[in-house]
Amino acid sequence: MMKKSEKHRGAFTLVEMMITMAILAVIFIPLVKIMMSATKTWWFARAKMTIEQDGRDALSFINKDFQGAYRFSMGNLLYNAGFEGYYLDIDDRPQPSIWPKADYGDVFYNRSASTAIVASGYASVTLMAANMPYTYTGPGGGGFEIRGGAGGTQVMFAFKAKASTNAVVATDVTGSVELYGAVQFSTGSGVGISSTTWTEFVKVSTLTPSVEYNVVFKTTNGGVIIDEVSVRPVSSLLYDFQLAANVTNYMYVTQTSGGAPGELESMFKIGDRATKSGDIIKRLNCYSVDYVSDGSEWGINARFYNALAENLRHLEFRLDSADLESDGTNAPITIILQMGAKVRGDKYGDPTTFTIRKTVYPRK
């Protein structure tokens, strides 16, 4: 009798396949999660290392420049506030640019290395005429600008003054910040200002947004020397990815050029650039600034100097003092810099951030 041949299997059953897939899922899903977590951790560490190094490099660059800067110039909203830069036209020398030209006998522009005549650098101004206003005109004659919200920006107004040794009578000086001829606040001396030492006058107040603020000086009896004029925001917010900045650049003077035409000033400014992917990345740029007195490029001429900090999220310079009117331009400056970068694979998450602070004490 013949036996029935046995049938050989050619495939798995559906039940077997489902059981196998379930077993593989139990094994591989946790493994994939572990791999994804490890990859994200690696990218996180890489991004953190990058932004920390970028932040330290940027802060080191800023701090290095600040160590050689004049204190009154740091964050100053006024150009050529030390009277060093002057017009290139030989007929106008030695009159400093951005400030009004002198009428003979009313204003003298001094160039000297003696501290009896200048507070710093190599230039100052002597006001000779009694009760004649001497007004900062700014680029194009528009004064200086205050940005920010309707609540205003707190600023520190300061200048140094002394009586000229040629003054025939005791004298005084008053400096004020004005808007359309209306005094916003002022500071100054009574009659009898010293002729042997420089006195710094400081006033802290709040200014609302406008583009036409002016600084005005007057003297009752004439014969007063002024130098190191400044209007500086107490907090200069140059950039924040969420907040509106209250300054467009942060200016400072790192050197004096003596007899050379036009002292260079520098400023930190935030610029934009397009990456290969078309995204806009904020960069920290440093510019050198000089003055052009005439021609098609009259006014402020800014030239690119360096670039750092691609992943900048916040940059602020703060006058850090509990009593600014007492400390004046000797107040230290705290730099607050924050970097941030998105972690790969975390498109909608918060970026990795790194915040660093440093307080600097620039030269006088």
pLDDT at 186: 96
What domain count does the chain have? 1
The tens place of each residue's pLDDT in the chain, 364 residues long, gives 555 555 555 677 877 778 888 887 777 777 777 777 776 677 677 777 877 888 888 888 888 878 778 889 999 999 888 888 765 554 555 577 788 876 667 888 888 888 889 998 888 999 988 888 999 978 777 889 998 877 899 999 999 999 987 766 788 999 999 999 999 999 999 888 988 899 999 999 999 999 899 999 999 888 899 999 999 999 999 988 888 899 988 988 875 444 344 456 788 888 765 554 445 566 778 777 776 655 566 666 777 667 777 778 899 999 999 999 999 999 999 999 988 876 655 554 556 788 889 988 866 5
Q: Which of 160, 31, 1, 139 is nearest to 77 (CA)?
A: 139
Q: Which residues contact 231 (CB under 8 A, 6 or more apart)?
A: 76, 77, 78, 144, 155, 156, 157, 177, 213, 215
pLDDT at 257: 42
Q: How far is residue 233's CA from residue 314's CA, in Å, rounded to a whole number?
A: 17
Does a structural domain hold residue 156?
A: yes
Does a structural domain hold residue 38?
A: no
Does a structural domain hold residue 52?
A: no
Does a structural domain hold residue 20?
A: no
Phi, psi of 146 (to 5 degrees): -115, 125
Phi, psi of 58 (to 5 degrees): -65, -45
pLDDT at 281: 61
Does a structural domain hold residue 339?
A: yes
Q: Which domain holds residue 198?
A: 64-360
Neighbours of 52 (CB within 10 A): 14
Two tokens at 345? 């694979």
- Residues in the chain, overall count: 364
List b or e across 255-271, with b for residues whose CB sees 16 or more CB atoms inside 10 angstroms: ebeeeebbbbbbbbbbe
Q: Are 336 and 319 in contact (CB under 8 A)?
A: no
Two tokens at 221? 């009896």
Does a structural domain hold residue 317?
A: yes
Alpha helices in the chain (DSSP H): 14-66, 324-327
Two tokens at 83? 């009277």
Global pTM reads 0.82
Q: Which of 65, 98, 115, 11 is nearest to 299 (CA)?
A: 98
pLDDT at 259: 39
Does a structural domain hold residue 9?
A: no
Phi, psi of 31 (to 5 degrees): -65, -40
Q: Which residues contact 348 (CB under 8 A, 6 or more apart)?
A: none
Give 6's DSSP letter.
P
CATH number of residue 219's parent domain: 2.60.120.260
Q: Which residues contact 72 (CB under 8 A, 6 or more apart)?
A: 81, 82, 120, 158, 160, 228, 229, 230, 329
Q: Is 75 helix (H, G, I), strand (E, B) or coil?
A: coil
Does a structural domain hold residue 124?
A: yes
Neighbours of 105 (CB within 10 A): 9
pLDDT at 182: 95
Q: Are 174 and 130 in contact (CB under 8 A)?
A: no
Q: Are 316 and 234 in contact (CB under 8 A)?
A: no
pLDDT at 292: 65
Q: Is 183 exposed, middle or buried (0-12, 13-18, 19+ CB in 10 A)?
A: exposed
Q: Which of 115, 203, 130, 135 is nearest to 171 (CA)?
A: 130
